[in-house]
Amino acid sequence: MRHLILATVCLGLLAACGGLGARRHTPQEFRRVEADFDQAWEAAVRTLTERGYDIRTIDRPAGIIETGWLTINPDYAATVLVTEREDRYSACGKPGLGQAFRAKEARLALALRPIRRGETGLRIEAFFRTQRYSDAPLWGNRPLGDVECNSRGRLEEELKVEVQLRALSDQLERLRRGAP
């Protein structure tokens, strides 16, 4: 019995040290898209709206597009011991003892700049967050605020490829119609 109590106290102290932080993904540099600025811009806007993002800032002369928060993983849940429905886009680490994470949201910041005829630079930065809740039986299930999560770089890469494909398909459609 004494060993069980000692093991429980040690496990409690270990878990009480706090949650584990997630590894940070550094933002990428501008990547080349094989399309004129106008085509890349339209492809980026269409890609974001079709994925369900609410565009909050759109400044074409500056080449800036920013979205609002979108729930991308409503089933995500994590406690100090168990993580359920993790996704490939971000890592949130582990919550502290008596806390839980629920759902993930993302927002995006895109920058486009013309390089030369037929080429555009595209930089995508994704920001992620989850909601932290009290998970202690005596304290109830109350919200404790948002926690930033770290990007793994996969959403940015997916979006870049999708923008490139959409821009190329638009070019092919124009060529098919005989337009320059």
Q: Residue 4 phi/psi, 5° resolution?
A: -65, -45
Q: Residue 88 phi/psi, 5° resolution?
A: -90, -5
Give 165 or 136, the one with higher predicted confidence: 165
Q: What tens digit of pLDDT does each residue of 18-62 get?
A: 444 444 445 568 999 999 999 999 999 999 999 999 999 999 999
Give 10 or 125, the one with higher predicted confidence: 125
Mean pLDDT, rounded, for 91-99: 89
- Residue in 100, 98, 122 with CA at minimum distance from that of residue 111: 122
